[in-house]
């Protein structure tokens, strides 16, 4: 009996020792992991800050302020400003000159084989199609980035409200957004925060934030901040209500997309059917399909009609509210 008790006590002691040793190792591993995570987070913040300082937004703050005031004074922007704003809103590391060069390269790549195979008459439309491919790709990236930014805004405004309710300033709230959120909202508010650190006035930095994003929700946010700076009031309550409105607008936008999904799918099928059928006919009966080019007014009128129909359907399924 004594041997059994000693054996049980020895087993319990050994198990406790193994468990304690495991706890010590786990605690050391968690501590090392926490130190590593903190180091990685610090390095990522420093890298993000250095990237922001080296971007186009910080090269000439005086010029940036003049542009912001000029755009505020005039409602209509020029084509070059809209083109540059589109590239900025896409989040791609591109300049207007580089995008124009890519459009020229694609136009040449599409026009050269078309001119050799079908003649010079179809080289110009092929060049236009090739030039529009990089442009529409940047537009697609811009649309995706704006949709992601719109989905993050409600939580972003709530975080700003909580930070300011804790007694912090608006600049510290923007820094919290830049550190806690993922891009693109972290990038945009990080740029606004760094611009103020580099000497740009808060009003100009906020106007630049609204111009750079182009979202109505952020324009309302900037307008609310400017009114609050002049008249005062309960800014945290205003931000909470704005977050609720933004979340409701995002929900309604998703509902509209669901209701118009069938129409958009039908439009895509109808627009894709003529070129797909023509390509299939080229492989099935090439001589018969090539007779279409004996009457160039037919494919040109078809393309014009398809473009008009695409714009018409886009106008129907896309509307502001």
CB 156 within 8 A of CB 185: yes
pLDDT digits (tens, 9 = 90+) for 213-246: 888 888 888 888 888 877 777 888 888 888 888 8
Mean pLDDT, all residues of the chain: 77
Q: Which residue has the higher pLDDT, 218 or 12?
A: 218
pLDDT digits (tens, 9 = 90+) for 187-217: 888 888 888 887 778 888 888 888 888 888 8
pLDDT digits (tens, 9 = 90+) for 116-165: 776 677 788 788 888 888 998 998 999 889 888 888 888 888 888 888 88
Nearest to residue 185, comparing CAs of 138, 153, 163?
153
Q: Hey, what's the torsion of the CAs at 7, 8, 13, 18, to 10 degrees?
A: 100
66, two tokens: 């003049």
First to last CA, the chain: 84
Residue 75 has pLDDT above 50, yes or no: no
234, two tokens: 């309960």
pLDDT digits (tens, 9 = 90+) for 244-253: 888 888 888 8
CB 77 within 8 A of CB 216: no
Which residue has 């030039």 as its token pair? 131
Residue 74 has pLDDT above 70, yes or no: no
CB 192 within 8 A of CB 206: yes
Give domain limits for the chain: 1-53, 62-259, 262-321
pTM: 0.67
For position 61, what pLDDT does the model report?
Answer: 47
For position 37, what pLDDT does the model report?
Answer: 55
């Amino acid at each position: 009996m004594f041997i059994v008790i000693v054996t049980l006590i020895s087993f319990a002691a050994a198990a406790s020792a193994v468990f304690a040793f495991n706890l010590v190792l786990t605690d050391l591993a968690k501590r090392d992991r926490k130190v590593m995570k903190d180091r990685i987070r610090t390095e990522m913040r420093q890298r993000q800050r250095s990237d922001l300082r080296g971007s186009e937004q910080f090269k000439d703050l005086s010029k940036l302020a003049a542009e912001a005031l000029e755009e505020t004074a005039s409602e209509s922007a020029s084509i070059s400003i809209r083109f540059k704003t589109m590239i900025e809103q896409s989040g791609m590391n591109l300049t207007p000159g580089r995008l124009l060069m890519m459009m020229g390269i694609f136009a040449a790549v599409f026009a050269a084989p078309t001119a050799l195979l079908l003649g010079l008459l179809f080289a110009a439309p092929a060049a236009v199609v090739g030039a529009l491919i990089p442009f529409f790709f940047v537009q697609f990236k811009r649309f995706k980035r704006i949709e992601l930014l719109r989905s993050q805004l409600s939580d972003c405004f709530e975080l700003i409200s909580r930070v300011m309710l804790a007694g912090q300033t608006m600049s510290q709230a923007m820094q919290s957004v830049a550190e806690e959120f993922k891009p693109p909202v972290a990038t945009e508010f990080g740029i606004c925060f760094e611009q103020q650190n580099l000497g740009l006035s808060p009003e100009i930095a906020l106007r630049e934030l609204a111009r750079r994003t182009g979202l109505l929700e952020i324009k309302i946010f900037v307008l609310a901040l400017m009114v609050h700076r002049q008249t005062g009031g309960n800014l945290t309550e205003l931000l909470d209500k704005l977050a609720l409105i933004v979340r409701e607008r995002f929900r309604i936008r998703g509902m509209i997309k669901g209701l118009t999904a069938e129409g958009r799918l039908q439009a895509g099928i109808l627009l894709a059917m003529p070129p797909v059928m023509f390509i299939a006919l080229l492989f099935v009966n090439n001589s018969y399909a090539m007779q279409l080019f004996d009457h160039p007014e037919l494919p040109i009128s078809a393309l014009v009609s398809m473009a008009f129909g695409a714009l018409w359907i886009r106008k129907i399924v896309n509307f502001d509210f």
